[in-house]
Chains A and B, each alone.
Chain A
Amino acid sequence: MRMEFSAADEAFRLEVRAFVRSHLPADIKRKVELGLRLEHEDYVTWFRILEARGWITPGWPVEHGGPGWTHVQRYIFDEETLLGGAPRIIASGIQMLGPVLIAFGTEEQKRRYLPDIRHSNTWWAQGFSEPGAGSDLAAVRTSAVLEPDGKHFIVNGHKVWTSYAQWCPMMFALVRTDPTAKPQEGISFLLIDMNAPGVEVRPIRMLEGGADLNEVYLDNVRVPVENLVGELNKGWSYGKYLLGHERTGIAGIGSCKQQLARARQIAQQLGLDGDPLLRARLAQFEIELMALEFTALRLLSANQASRMPAVEASMLKVRGTELRQAIYMTLVDIAGPDAVPFSLQALELEHLDEGVVAEELVALAANCLDSRKITIYGGTSEVQRNLIARAAMDA
């Protein structure tokens, strides 16, 4: 056993830190640190900077442009980029579709889509959830019917909670291709052109004022048959592969650290850092975070060669997301009465001065509300606990 990172890992950490410090544009960093709205071009700018360094696709195999990092290096990269004030790599194409295409796509699909994903030329929407299929994803009803000539699917249905669909010219979706089969067995994985006739995107206004989630209506959309990924009716297993792919960052430890540092900094600015009750809360968070971090590293090192088992990933997700929410709530407490004023306008950097509270407090409450999503998406805490309990009881 050894608690220190290896010298090579420490060197890597410093390399990432120095890179972020010298390459992250100041306005993007400021937006991230103040919790303000990021525009599409902010993400694209940063992702292309990472791409130029060869760091945009940590989860991809080396032969497809991945950097060939170990789990621990990926962990360090996540942490250092977040602590350095960089935006998360939120692009579904990079995080989700890429690995699926690499594993199951045709050579033509890889050649056609992967470079544009890597260069952030094409953002992809994730068309999974539907009004009747949230946690119970196998209940998707959007139908894809093959035309008699076998050249196109006709897709009809309704997707929802589609993140950043307004920025996405393409969408990967789970669609039902065999309505008679068992729920998991009649699903296929389809790539859909968002500019095709019959596709309509409608933003959903969320409680914190954002509108990055959307509804996507599909009305007799013609999708070429070559846009099917893998085999017909095998989409469920590709979807599971995709959801299971991002295990390293699932606990969001870098984000927890980032927000805890923010809490300490604001508390100090407001002169609250001597308050014993607040100190106790922050110390408790620090300890919980330490336990989470050691657990993530312990589980990652135990599964170096392979992917982390689903149960362990579920534990990290439950704990990491609930801890992060608690930290956000404490940030609101630190803001005190200054959490009450709200200006949607002031959440944009250019209008920051329109807020009636100090700039570091403007977005706190909105960020806290927005963080409710983390125990809902990617499998709710309840679904995760079901999985964890099943494993514990069947063992």
Chain B
Amino acid sequence: MDFSLNEDHLALADAVRRFCDGEYPAQHRGNTESEQEAFRRVAGMADMGLLGLPFEAAYGGSELGPVEIMLVAREFGRCLGGGHFLSGTVMAGQLLARLGSNAHKENWLPALTQGSLQMALAAYEEGARYEWQRVRTRATPVAGGYALSGRKSLVLHGDTAGLFLVVARTAGELGDRHGLTVFAVDAGTPDLHVHGFDTLDGRRAANLVLDGVVVDAGRVLGPLDQAADAVESALDAGAAALCAEVVGALEALMEHTVDHLRTRKQFGVPLAKFQVLQHRVADMAIAIELLKSMDCAAAMALAGEDAGVRRRVVSAAKVLASQQGRHQGMAAIQMHGAMGMTDECRVGHYAKRLMVIGQLLGDATYHLRRFDAQQQN
């Protein structure tokens, strides 16, 4: 049992924090990023090696693991940034790295790592909520390949992605784990329609319509019908990164809130003198410590071999991160009073991101149920 961070970990976290402080000025955090900003930030992340963090050196990666991803995601949570680090590197990239052939990896991982290609995981479908195995999108064999038909929803950063990893059904019934296959589909492929939209936290996502999209057989990642474990792992890696973002966001909220309580005066004294507010701050501090521990545990579980442990620990972490992130976000608004509800004040931007995180990749209820199902086994 060892939760300690080594020097390399600390140096990485420190470097990412400096990058974020430069790229995401405090008073603009949470604002929608312009194309120029996005371009510059992606280039910066690529320069630092963040976009290739978990990949093999042969593909330009840094060969680092879930603990490092946690540390980077925490810093991105702190500055409300990170672009497609989560959707591209953590989820789609790691899925590709796990399932893809050497040729697939050579083809796409260096580009992802260098920031020239954005990648997105298209897993969930309309009406399936968080049941990622409820896949209706079908891939039917055609001459030389497959035709994909169906709809994919809430593909994070989908409208800027150049490559989609689409989970489609090649066998089995709706809801079966068996029969799922991952296809690599270029954004420009005919009959693929990408409908981008804004999200609550000022970011972008897309719904995909695949209307008989024909892909070459060489676009199948890994063995047919057997992608479920890999997809679930990728989603768990994403969920753990979101949990790490929550800690960073709460640390930032804590700083904002403490600063406000110490400077804002009412009834002739700083708000910090009121015990009822002190106790809210104490609860926020406790939440941060608990979530930090769960993030570390989730990272270690992702690095481990046991899928049961991974499911259990990641779901536990996501339950608490969803609940506490949202709760503390709203508490921070309350402590800021009406100012906290303005668009100018950054607190609301954090609260919105925390609310979105709560709803992404399985909400608290979904993960509570998943945790309990592991318990039964």
A residues lining the B interface (CB < 8 Å): 1-6, 9, 72, 279-280, 283-284, 286-288, 290-292, 294-295, 297-299, 301-302, 312, 315, 318-319, 382, 384-386, 388-393, 395
Contact = CB atoms under 8 A, between A and B. Distances in A.
A388 B288 CA distance: 12
Query: Chain A at the B interface: mostly helix, strand, loop or mixed?
Result: helix
6 contacts: A2-B300, A4-B1, A291-B294, A302-B4, A386-B278, A388-B286
B111 interface: no
A226 to B, nearest CB: 43
Contacts of A279: 372
Given A291-B293, A315-B286, 7 more contacts: A1-B300, A283-B371, A284-B368, A319-B290, A385-B279, A389-B281, A395-B258
Contacts of B96: none
Contact of A1 (B291, B299, B372): B299
Interface in B290-326: 290-294, 296-297, 299-301, 304, 313, 316, 319-320
Interface string B259-289: 0011000000000100100110111111001
Given A280-B368, A294-B296, A392-B258, A5 B1 contact: yes
Given A283-B368, A294-B296, A298-B296, A72 B279 contact: no
Interface residues of B, number: 41
B289 A392 contact: no
Nearest to B294: A291
B285 A315 contact: yes
A318 B286 CA distance: 9
A287 B319 contact: yes
Contact of A72 (B1, B262, B286, B369): B1
A393 B4 contact: no
B2 A301 contact: yes
Contacts of A319: 286, 290
A297 B289 contact: no
B208 interface: no
A318 B291 CA distance: 16
Contacts of A295: 289-290, 292-293
Given A6-B1, A294-B294, A298-B293, A389 B282 contact: yes
A9 B1 contact: yes
Given A5-B1, A393-B262, A286 B290 contact: no
B320 A294 contact: no
Contact of A286 (B254, B289, B304, B375): B375
B3 A302 contact: yes
Interface in B1-42: 1-5
A6 B2 CA distance: 9
Nearest to B70: A1
Nearest to A5: B1
Contacts of B97: none
A2 B1 contact: yes
A385 B300 contact: no
A385 B371 contact: no
Contacts of A3: 1, 297, 300-301, 304
A389 B316 CA distance: 27
A287 B300 contact: no
A279 B319 CA distance: 15
B69 interface: no
B67 interface: yes
B1 A315 contact: no
Contacts of B313: 290
Contacts of A385: 278-279, 282-283
- Counting chain A CB atoms within 10 Å of each CB, the highest count among B262, B275, B278, B286 belongs to B286
Nearest to A304: B4
B94 to A, nearest CB: 19
Contacts of B3: 1, 294, 297-298, 301-302
Given A6-B1, A385-B279, A386-B278, A291 B286 contact: no
A45 B213 CA distance: 77
Given A3-B1, A393-B261, A315 B289 contact: yes
A282 B286 CA distance: 21
A1 B279 contact: no
B1 A297 contact: yes
Contacts of A290: 294, 297, 313, 316
A2 B3 CA distance: 7
Interface string B105-126: 0000000000000000000000
Nearest to A292: B290
